[in-house]
Amino acid sequence: MTIRYPNGKKYVPAQRLARANQKNLSYSNRGKTLEDELNETNEYYLANNEAVIHKKPVPIQIVHVKYPARSAAVITEAYFRSPSTTDYNGVWNGRYIDFEAKETKNTTSFPLQNIHEHQVEHMKKVTEQAGIAFLLVKFAVLDRYFIVPYEYFEKKWERMIAGGRKSITLSEMEEISIEINPGFNPRLDYLKALDSLLGKSGSETIERQENI
């Protein structure tokens, strides 16, 4: 199936402890995409009344459909009705959260070409309304996961716009992000990481106020 944007274009640890259970978890999750892992995690959150977070549906306009059999229909061409925003959104502890999930096979950096300008603008607007916006990045080969708060991501994006580096290096990722250690259930406890992040941000705010 070919899916196109509204304009017609095709949609085209520094050191980690080597524990046996970590290896088993990695092995059991081989072949799963980041989307699979997040969907399973969100189902766990919902079942345990921790949060209500879902993957956003993508509205498409169907153009061509083939019917290889009376009981089967195959969509062969479709268009996005409007540019997509981010992948997931929902409510957690009375806070609105909105994030984009990306994975890369690169082992040294995360290419910013994986993010679209309208997605950046969407996360900015969410942040301006006191929502929590972030990227969740998976380095697939390294089996490492990072939450990148929008406020830190924005600086790297603006650096690229100004003609600078077009990626976030792994060392920068370690500096500006909260790393998620994958587990069993939930697989990616990113809400725990967010809790830590919000606590850190609160402490920094208090410290800035005391210095004024």
Q: Has this prediction a pTM greater than 0.95?
A: no
Residue 98: CA atoms inside 13 Å, Cβ hemisphere, count?
A: 20
Q: Which pLDDT band, with edges at 50, 70 and 90, does 115 fall under?
A: very high
Q: What is the CATH T-level fold of the domain 37-57+84-211, as seen in this structure?
A: Trna Endonuclease; Chain: A, domain 1 (3.40.1350)
pLDDT for the residue numbered 60: 52
Q: Cα(4)–Cα(91) distance, rounded to whole angstroms? A: 30
Question: What type of residue sits at position 190?
Answer: Y
Which residue, 184, 96, 196, is CA-closest to 146? Answer: 196
Q: Cα(137)–Cα(30) distance, rounded to whole angstroms? A: 17
Angle made by CA atoms 190, 194, 198, in degrees to the nearest 5: 175
- Distance from the Cα of residue 156 to its chain's centroid: 16
Interval 19-56: pLDDT, tens? 434 444 444 445 579 999 999 999 999 999 999 999 97
pLDDT for the residue numbered 85: 76
Q: Cα(25)–Cα(172) distance, rounded to whole angstroms? A: 26
Residue 16 has pLDDT above 50, yes or no: no
pLDDT (mean) for 158-167 = 97
The DSSP secondary-structure symbol of 4 reads E
The ranges assigned to domains in the chain are 37-57+84-211
Interval 116-143: pLDDT, tens? 999 999 999 999 999 999 999 999 999 9
Q: Is 16 helix (H, G, I), strand (E, B) or coil?
A: coil
Least confident of 103-107, 177-181, 205-209: 205-209
CA dihedral 148, 150, 155, 161 (to 10 degrees): 110
Q: Cα(109)–Cα(106) distance, rounded to whole angstroms? A: 6
